[in-house]
Amino acid sequence: MFRFESPEFLLILAAIPLLATIFVLARIGARRRLARFGNPTTLRPLMSEASPRRVRNKFILLAIAIGLVVAALARPQFGSKLRESTSQAAEIILAVDVSNSMLAEDFSPNRLEQAKYAITRLLGQMTKDRIGLVVFAGKAYVQLPLTADYTTARNFVKNLSPTMVSHQGTAIGAAIDLAATSFSSGTEESRALIIISDGENHEDDVVTAARRASETGIRIYTIGMGTPEGAPLRIGGQMLHDEEGNLVVSKLDEKTLEEIAITTGGAYIRASNQSVGLNEIVTEIDQMEKKRATALSFSDFNDQFPHLLWGALALLLIEFGIIPRKNRILTRFNIFR
C-alpha cells in the first residue's frame, strides 16, 4: 500500500504553476524589450549564441526537481506487511424527528436544536461504533448510511431542519421500517436504533413496526423531546394557530415512545434542558454483544523519499551544467549539417 506520511507538504506543489506563469511572462517581457531595438527576425543573426530553448529546458528541469523535493518532503511510503486487526463495534442508527413540532420552545432554543447539540457532542466522543442517520416527518429518508466517519456525520447533523422533508407529519413507524433495512447483514447482535422525537405520531402503527424491527435483532431506544405541558409552535417567526384561531401547542407523547422501547427490549428516556440522554443510552449499547469487526491494514512502511532526492539532485546538476547560450565548441561538431 502506498501513502504519504506528511501529505500537507504536497500543497507546495501549487507554487509550480505560479512559477511557470512568472517564467512565461518574463519571456514575453524579454521579447517585447528586444522588439524596441528592431525587427526580431533581423536581430536574430546578431544574437547567434542566444538559445531560448536552453533557457526553457533549464526551467523545466528546475521545476521537475522542485516537484521531486516537495514529494520527498511528503515522505512517500510503501507498506510491506499486511496485518489483520479485530475490534468490537456496534451499529447505531439515529432516527431524528424533523417535523415542525420539533420547533416547540419548551427546550432552549427549541427541541430540534437541543437534539442536534446532543448528537454532535456524542459524535465527538465516539471512536469505534458505526453511525447512521435517518430523518423523518410525514415520510422517512436515509440522510447518512452507516459510517465511521464522524466528521461527515457531524456535518449532516448540523444541517438538520424541518425544511428537508416536504411532507409534514410524524411517521415514526416509517422511520423504524427504513432504519431496519439500513443495517449491515450479520450484525443481529449489535444493532441499535435511537429515536429522538416528541412522540406525536400521526401517520402509522408504530408498535407493529417496532415488532418487525425486534424480529431482526434491532433494539430500539427512544428519547422524548419536550414536556407533557408542551409549548406553542413558532414557525418563521410567527406563532402557529389552528382553524379556530387557537394557538397550536405541541406536547410530548411519552406513551408512544415507551411502547416502542418496551416492544424491542430497549429503554425510554425523557430529555431535559440539561441532558438529552444520549450518553446514557450509548453506555447501555456498549454492554451489548457486539460484532467482531475484522480489518486488514498495512504496517512497516518503508520510506521512498531518498530516491526522489537523488533524482532531484541529478536534475539540478544537469540544469546547472546547461548554459543559457550556445556552446561555440559543440556547434563545430554538428553532424546533421
pLDDT of the residue at 182: 94
Which ranges of the chain have pLDDT less than 70? Answer: 1, 38, 40-50, 79-88, 201-203, 288-301, 324-337
Nearest partner of 265 among 178, 182, 169, 192, judged by Cα: 192
Grid cell, residue 231, equals 409549548
pLDDT of the residue at 310: 92
Q: What is the CATH number of the domain that holds 209?
A: 3.40.50.410
Condensed to tens digits (0 to 9), the pLDDT of residues 259-312 reads 999 999 999 999 998 889 998 898 888 776 555 555 555 556 678 888 889 998
Q: Please write down the HEC assignment for all residues of 27-64.
A: HHHHHHHHHCCCCHHHHHHHHCCECHHHHHHHHHHHHH
Q: What are phi and psi of 130, to 5 degrees?
A: -90, 140
Does residue 86 belong to any structural domain of this protein?
no
Residue 153 · residue 94 · CB < 8 Å: no
Is 26 in the same domain as 107?
Answer: no
Is 98 in the same domain as 225?
Answer: yes
Does residue 29 belong to any structural domain of this protein?
yes
DSSP state of 295: E
Is 109 in the same domain as 243?
Answer: yes
Is 15 in the same domain as 105?
Answer: no
Does residue 294 belong to any structural domain of this protein?
no
Element (H, E) at 205: none
Is 99 in the same domain as 9?
Answer: no
Does residue 44 belong to any structural domain of this protein?
yes
Is 209 in the same domain as 189?
Answer: yes
Is 58 in the same domain as 155?
Answer: no
pLDDT of the residue at 126: 87
Q: Is 222 left (phi over 0), alpha (psi -120 to 50) or beta?
A: beta
- Across 311-320, b (16+ Cβ under 10 Å) vs e yields bbeebbeebe
Does residue 137 belong to any structural domain of this protein?
yes
**Based on the structure, what is the number of domains in the chain?**
2
Is 52 in the same domain as 183?
Answer: no
Which domain covers residue 133, as residue numbers? 91-289
- Residue 265: count other Cβ atoms within 10 Å of its Cβ: 11
Is 42 in the same domain as 96?
Answer: no
Does residue 336 belong to any structural domain of this protein?
no
Residue 155 · residue 190 · CB < 8 Å: no
Does residue 337 belong to any structural domain of this protein?
no
Is 18 in the same domain as 127?
Answer: no
pLDDT of the residue at 53: 78
Is 97 in the same domain as 76?
Answer: no
Is 268 in the same domain as 306?
Answer: no
Looking at the chain, which runs of residues are DSSP E strands?
2-4, 76-89, 91-97, 130-136, 140-147, 191-197, 218-224, 231-232, 234-235, 238-239, 249-250, 268-270, 291-303
Rounded distance, CA 39 to CA 91, Å? 76
